Chain A
Amino acid sequence: MRPSPARLLNILVPVKRAVDYSVKIRVNPQQTGIDTNVKHSMNPFDEIAVEEAIRLRERLPPGTVKHIKAISIGPAKSLDVLRTALAVGADSAAHVVLPENAPAPEPLAIAKTLASYINLQNNDAAKVAKDGKVDLVVLGKQAIDDDLGVTGQMLAGLLGWGQATFASKVEVDVGRGEVVVTREIDGGAEEVRCRLPVVITTDLRLNEPRYASLPNIMKAKKKPVEKLAPSDLGIDYTPQLTTLRVTEPPKRVGGGKVGSVQELVERLKDAGITGV
């Protein structure tokens, strides 16, 4: 008989529904935001986070990853991205439902929601006995819509947990309750060892997310999705910052093409650029 692992992992993966990365966005005429009547999908960095959670389950001894839960905070439509997470391998999902036309919640409110959700789970003896504690949160390093990239760090700060941002490699040692993370930093890489529980944010190179197969998409429809209201967690989503306007960036107009290398070099010289 194999000894049971010292610790079973419960992974929480926050995911965001964002404008699809391939969409060429358009600023609305009122300059209050962008035209959101376009294709949406899961934030690409969050896809990587979901994938990493699933790979951890596949990589670690069977049974080590006890549960993978995806969570999203947003309007009803965010359910789509939760279903996507379930279809690729998450076990269950939680959806904090915001009103359809509410302003986009700020990262701090999202981080508080996640912290509140985790505290509810981890501080309730009955819940812990049933489901265990959340000890690993994996989320994208940034959302490709607001490009803020702060939620994971805020969450770690609120919980007082360790953090490993911009992860390109994650190795979990369940026996020691540790995670060794390789992080992408300016000019190179850094390795850190974090004690569980920990918050990890994913960089692009962490993995390549898989596609959901049709049977799994069908199965995902039967997986449980817990619905919560903001009041259940006691979070106020009123933004602290005021968006004054959203505008188009100054348009850059191409200068046309040249016919030969000779002409190209002439143009460079005109701009004062020569060899050194």
Chain B
Amino acid sequence: MLRTSTRLYRPVCARTYATGAPPHALVFLEHRKGTIESGSLSALTAAQQLGGQVSALVIGSSEHVGGVVEQAKKLKGLTSVLHSTSPQYAEPLPEIVTPLLKKLLSDSSFTHVVSATSSFGKSLLPRVSANLDVPTVSDVTSVEHDASNDSTIFTRPVYAGNAISTVSAPSSIPIKFFTVRGTAFAAAPTEEGSNAEAKAVEPVQVDDCPTEHIKTTIAKSDRPDLSVASRVVSGGRALKDAKTFESTLYPLADVLGAAVGASRAAVDSGYADNSLQVGQTGKVVAPELYMALGISGAIQHLAGMKDSKLIVAVNKDPDAPIFQVADVGLVADLFEVVPQLVEQLKK
């Protein structure tokens, strides 16, 4: 059957290959004020597993791009670093970055476009891929490219992680877009002697953008970042209120050097900031230690933490589902347990 509507949207840059081209991935390398995001480093590792060239794209204002490019050049496995500087890229919006990506993809040999499953990656990649009439495969946990038939096989969790779907993107998809679950891939390391080629790319000026950035508010914290912390202490509804949440969990997090997380119930009740939510609709974490305090363990929460190495649960309810996945469970009142824990861990 004809893809009738395809004709309407068929972009100028759609190409058809006679045979499989060697993979060449373009990784959208995100940075926050000049520091490369760890999720992007994981995306780089995933891109390397395709077995071909890997290029990175860095965008931003003139203030940050130079520094990021210098960092990026030393990353292991990176062939080239494309960079584009424009005041418009300082606070990038998908509407502004899409034309740049479309241009890059139209006159080069890229076969894959990769980003972290970050809020920006999730907003950008599908917008671009739809313009090229191809899908975006979200939040992949493994990737494997078969150069002989130009297909890429991905696995990704579905149904809140209660099933794993294995999908193949066949050769009929000329450019394969995917976002990468950070916890499933190690971060690409810096390697002595690496010196990827840096190449400046003309920015594509977008006039009359329908969207305008007003402001960004980042929740400040001295603690390690939740999504990359090796230890996480998480609280649920049982923490009663925001003050109790802080006064109970923070001392324990401090003694463990852990990040603080929260269940959706705790976030919805206003005990903790949105950015701390762990679960299907929040962050996905896989630390060495995950302590679930006063969290019952709903499917949606488990989706965000069940790949943790060691799960410890403290809950008053012996039948709480969290105990079915916890390596170490303690049925007790967390308000009695936590101070004791802090004290004993200090020893």
Q: Does A7 contact B (CB under 8 A)?
A: no
Which residues of A lie under 8 Å from residue B6 when comparing CB positions?
Answer: 236
Q: Does A125 contact B (CB under 8 A)?
A: no
Q: Does A54 contact B (CB under 8 A)?
A: no
Q: Do residues A25 and B159 form an inter-chain contact, with CB atoms below 8 A?
A: yes
Q: Does A244 contact B (CB under 8 A)?
A: yes
Q: Do residues B130 and A158 form an inter-chain contact, with CB atoms below 8 A?
A: yes
CA gap between A267 and B129 in the complex, in Å = 48
Which residues of A lie under 8 Å from residue B131 when comparing CB positions?
Answer: 157-158
Chain B residue nearest to A119 in the complex (CB): B8
Residue among B274, B299, B340 with the most chain A CB within 10 A? B274
Within 8 A of A (CB), among B26-71: none
Q: Do residues B123 and A165 form an inter-chain contact, with CB atoms below 8 A?
A: yes
CA gap between A147 and B124 in the complex, in Å = 17
State the majority secondary structure of interface residues on B.
Answer: mixed
Chain A residue nearest to B273 in the complex (CB): A188
Known contacts: A147-B157, A205-B274, A241-B168. The answer to whether A264 contacts B211 by CB under 8 A is no
Which residues of B lie under 8 Å from residue A130 when comparing CB positions?
Answer: none
Q: Do residues B330 and A264 form an inter-chain contact, with CB atoms below 8 A?
A: yes
Per-position 1/0 for B102-145, Cβ under 8 A of A: 00000000000000001110111111111101111111000000
Q: Does A245 contact B (CB under 8 A)?
A: yes
Chain B residue nearest to A272 in the complex (CB): B288
Q: Which of B5, B118, B267, B332 contacts A186 (CB 8 A)?
A: B118
The number of residues on chain B lying at the interface, defined by a beta carbon within 8 Å of a beta carbon of chain A, is 101
Q: Does A108 contact B (CB under 8 A)?
A: yes
Q: Do residues B126 and A257 form an inter-chain contact, with CB atoms below 8 A?
A: no
Q: Which of A236, A242, A259, A275 contacts B2 (CB 8 A)?
A: A236
Which residues of B lie under 8 Å from residue A238 when comparing CB positions?
Answer: 1
Q: Which of A154, A247, A263 contacts B163 (CB 8 A)?
A: A247
Q: Does A234 contact B (CB under 8 A)?
A: yes
Q: Does B205 contact A (CB under 8 A)?
A: no
Q: Do residues B345 and A275 form an inter-chain contact, with CB atoms below 8 A?
A: yes
Known contacts: A193-B211, A236-B3. The answer to whether A265 contacts B345 by CB under 8 A is yes
CA gap between A188 and B4 in the complex, in Å = 41
CA gap between A187 and B303 in the complex, in Å = 19
Q: Do residues A34 and B216 form an inter-chain contact, with CB atoms below 8 A?
A: no
Q: Do residues A190 and B168 form an inter-chain contact, with CB atoms below 8 A?
A: no
Q: Do residues B299 and A24 form an inter-chain contact, with CB atoms below 8 A?
A: yes
Chain A residue nearest to B231 in the complex (CB): A273
Per-position 1/0 for A251-276, Cβ under 8 A of B: 01011111111111101100101111
Q: Do residues B327 and A163 form an inter-chain contact, with CB atoms below 8 A?
A: no
Q: Do residues B344 and A262 form an inter-chain contact, with CB atoms below 8 A?
A: yes
CA gap between A268 and B156 in the complex, in Å = 31
Per-position 1/0 for B242-253, Cβ under 8 A of A: 000000000000
Q: Does B12 contact A (CB under 8 A)?
A: no
Within 8 A of B (CB), among A89-107: 106-107
Given A187-B219, A242-B168, A275-B256, 17 extra CB contacts under 8 A: A108-B129, A112-B9, A116-B5, A144-B280, A147-B157, A153-B126, A153-B127, A154-B129, A164-B211, A187-B275, A198-B210, A244-B153, A244-B168, A261-B341, A261-B344, A263-B330, A273-B288
Interface residues of chain A, those whose CB is within 8 Å of chain B, are 19, 21-22, 24-25, 27, 34, 106-108, 111-112, 115-116, 141-142, 144-151, 153-158, 161-166, 168, 180, 183-195, 198, 203-205, 233-236, 238, 240-249, 252, 254-265, 267-268, 271, 273-276
6 contacts between A and B (CB under 8 A): A25-B163, A111-B130, A180-B214, A243-B166, A257-B318, A276-B256
